[in-house]
Amino acid sequence: MSAPTESQTRSAAEAGGLYAEVQQFYARHMHLLDEGAAELWAESFTQDASFSVPTLPAPVVGRAGLSAAVRRSAAALVEAGEQHRHWPGVFDVVPQQDGSVIVHSYTTVFATVRGGESRVHRVCTCTDVLVREGGSLLVRSRRVDRDDLR
Amino acid sequence: MSAPTESQTRSAAEAGGLYAEVQQFYARHMHLLDEGAAELWAESFTQDASFSVPTLPAPVVGRAGLSAAVRRSAAALVEAGEQHRHWPGVFDVVPQQDGSVIVHSYTTVFATVRGGESRVHRVCTCTDVLVREGGSLLVRSRRVDRDDLR
Amino acid sequence: MSAPTESQTRSAAEAGGLYAEVQQFYARHMHLLDEGAAELWAESFTQDASFSVPTLPAPVVGRAGLSAAVRRSAAALVEAGEQHRHWPGVFDVVPQQDGSVIVHSYTTVFATVRGGESRVHRVCTCTDVLVREGGSLLVRSRRVDRDDLR
């Protein structure tokens, strides 16, 4: 085993910069989602982004459809007296030649009843294609799968 | 979409350095907490740190009060035959002009009965102000909220 | 409180590079495990790696034994109609003088019944010694402990 060279260290730091940027991106993204900040959350997607989930017959495309879906979910949670927390992690970050970044991750959704218990609501896998626009990462496409529906 | 410039890459690596440092900070901090290492845990706070939780009428201020609270919790867990794991994550790290760092995060507490089942005990949100003293990050103030008490 | 110097920033970025590399390593490692990709998973260990768990009287040593254990677990999960997700985190990363890296972490295993509920299956702690071979991190030894068996 040998110590890393200076060039390897620099390259690891640069890769580490992207890895941290991806984690920061998902953190703010999920905080917005769980606060029901539908429009701000939708701005983490490109204008023409596509979002596929197993419970819909076709992908949701575009920010207006995405934010509408979050507004509906947020209203249903208020009605139910539940707080959801989307917890993304276990990020496998794969930079592509064209500058986009494929991210394979897990997302666990924790649910808590106000005045009551917390539980694991869902365990999902997520494959995103992130692109950079104006210096920021945005989701161009997302594919979510649920472990209970496999 | 364009590839990042060299300067953007360097800046992302530096931001990534802080992001990783924050994650490392919380990891050791929570390991100490879950081991019941009350004094070492309290040393991750500044001398005059303030810790607010919804179940106390006023913030706990200072390391002596913080470590005393952890000693009480640790003794109660031993009595109950339970192991808790504080799992911090989904870090939204916001560096401030004055060198402090605001960190918005989630913390899930997993509980396991010896010889029994594991469960989600609590889901919390946490807003910390971190400052740098002698090269190390320390918590100057913490505000914890519990999803079940919203 | 003072702002970090340029040298501190560079050093944090380099440490951040290692921290991110460790997270990326565990992410791919656990994705392979949960997909049942036993041979590829075993290649994240050194040839002579040692894996200790409380439920076995002696450590498993070497890739053949490791991949055989994963094949058995994967078959049992298919039989049971369950999907497990190994979620590593709360990484305390401690670089050693000889270039190896000790990583203290937590791992939660989430289990989901197809067509049914999700739950916390296990909460574990994990201490790994990682070494670098041919530029890549590999596990040379692993010690897993389960919170329910303490």
ipTM value for the complex: 0.94
Report how far residue A2's alpha carbon sits from residue B139's, in angstroms, rounded to the nearest whole number. Answer: 37
Chain B interface includes C94 (CB < 8 A): no
Residue C126 near residue C146, CB atoms below 8 Å: no
Per-residue confidence (pLDDT) for residue B62, from 0 to 100 = 98
Q: What is the DSSP letter of A100?
A: -
In this structure, is residue C1 part of a structural domain?
Answer: no
C78 has which bridge partners?
A: none
Which residue, B66, B34, B36, B71, is CA-closest to B53?
Answer: B66
Q: How many domains does chain C have?
A: 1
Average pLDDT over residues C96-107: 97
pLDDT in tens, B112-139: 999 999 999 999 999 999 999 999 999 9
Both tokens of B72, joined, read: 């009480």
**pLDDT (0 to 100) of residue A40:** 98
Name the token pair of B93: 């790290």
**Looking at residue A122, which CATH number applies to its domain?**
3.10.450.50
Residue A120 has its nearest CB partner, among C27, C100, C118, at: C118
Q: What is the per-residue burial (b if ≥16 Cβ within 10 Å, else e) of B113-133?
A: eeeeebbbbbbbbbbbbbbbe
A86-99: pLDDT as tens digits: 999 999 999 999 99
CB pair distance less than 8 Å for B23 and C91 = yes
Put simply, the chain B residues between 102 and 141 with a CB less than 8 A from any chain C CB are: 110, 112-120, 131-133, 135
Distance from CA of B59 to the nearest CA of A (A): 22
C85 touches chain A (CB under 8 A): yes
What's the pLDDT score for residue A16? 86
Inform me whether the C-beta atom of residue A12 falls under 8 Å from chain C C-beta atoms: yes
Query: Which of C71-80 are b and which e, b meaning 16 or more Cβ less than 10 Å from the residue's Cβ?
Result: eeebeeeeee
| pLDDT of B1 | 52
Q: Which of C11, C33, C25 has the alpha carbon at shortest distance from C133? A: C25
**Starting at the edge strand that comes first in sequence, how are the strands of the sheet with B136-146 ordered?**
B60-61, B45-52, B136-146, B118-133, B101-113, B82-95
The parent domain of residue C49 ranges over 6-149
A91 touches B: beta carbon within 8 Å? no
Q: Answer whether residue C18 is part of any domain.
A: yes
Say if B1 falls within a structural domain: no
Q: Which among A21, A30, A83 has the least Cβ separation from residue B150? A: A83
Measured between CA atoms, how close is C8 to chain B, in angstroms?
9
Q: Do the beta carbons of residue C89 and residue B87 sit within 8 Å?
A: yes
A31 in B contact zone (CB under 8 Å): yes
Task: Please state the φ and ψ torsions of residue A57, each to the nearest 5 degrees.
Answer: -70, -25
Convert the pLDDT of each residue in B61-104 to its tens digit: 999 999 999 999 999 999 999 999 999 999 999 999 999 999 99
**Which residues from C are below 8 Å from A10, CB to CB?**
14, 17
Per-residue buried b or exposed e for C104-139, using 16+ beta carbons within 10 Å of the residue's own CB: bbbbbbbbbeeeeebbbbbbbbbbbbbbbeeeebbb
**In a domain? residue B58:** yes
In-domain check, residue A119: yes
